[in-house]
Structure 1
Amino acid sequence: MSTQHSTPATDSARPDAAAAYSQAKSEQEWREQLSPEEYHVLREAGTERPFTGEYNSTTTEGVYACRACGVELFRSETKFEAHCGWPSFYAPLAEDRVQYIQDDSLGRPRTEVRCASCGSHLGHVFEGEGYETPTDLRYCMNSISMTLVPAQD
């Protein structure tokens, strides 16, 4: 049975204060930890080019964790092929793992998804696109924002 969900509630402000997150670091510390490409996406809300990310087509079973802080975000069981060029999931591992921010940067409303632990940008969530998923949501994530931890046999 399919359960309908609506787009998650968003915070209207874009929190930038490192103290707001349990895994707070200065931007200098993030620059030292992350590659320039990772920093651009995770800390500056950039986007990797479509169809270039390492997890776009992967079917490996496991858990996708935040590349910046390691918090587990998505299970492979919720990943589906949306043919959009980025890994897509229909639900996070738990709602308290992600944060939703209203994003009007392209002149139209979108919902940004961040790691609730460190505030890193992961991607965006979209609703009502017609995919056959239990939630009617598509979490369109940047591969570079995550690390796949393969399931143990």
Structure 2
Amino acid sequence: MSVRPLSLADLDALVALEQENMLPGWSRAQLAAEFDAAAGLQLGLDHGGQLAGYAFFRSCGPEAELFRIVVCRARRGLGLGHILLKQGLQLLAAAGREVCFLEVRASNRAARKLYRGEGFEECGLRPAYYSCPQEDAVVMAKELAVIKL
């Protein structure tokens, strides 16, 4: 199992993961656009010889945001999301980011538990933020420790 930077060469695998695991999923164009995002960080997690998950982060000044984290349904519960999240946060901290934000569906208890376990705290609510189905988003934030190299 290894976490690595993603590239456009991974686009087909990203599309497949998105279609199988997220409703509604991002389009091929949306996934590809992440590679052009200023101050973006795209990480993939290989498990059993396949891309089993990925995370997209973006940064602006001292702040970062987790835009997307997806783990293959067949491999959920193995801690892969935790590994991806932790690695991303470590890289953001090493790059001087001070805080990371995210939004999560209010009903997504598993994701909220993952984020709380990594030190994120709920700091806001965005009513009717999501569609398909319409749902509130819980805003969470985590202060990032400065990593001295």
TM range (shorter): under 0.3
The answer to which structure has the higher helix fraction is 2
The answer to which structure has the higher strand fraction is 2
* TM-score (ref. length: structure 1): 0.27
Higher relative contact order (CA 8 A, sep 6+): 1
* TM-score (ref. length: structure 2): 0.28
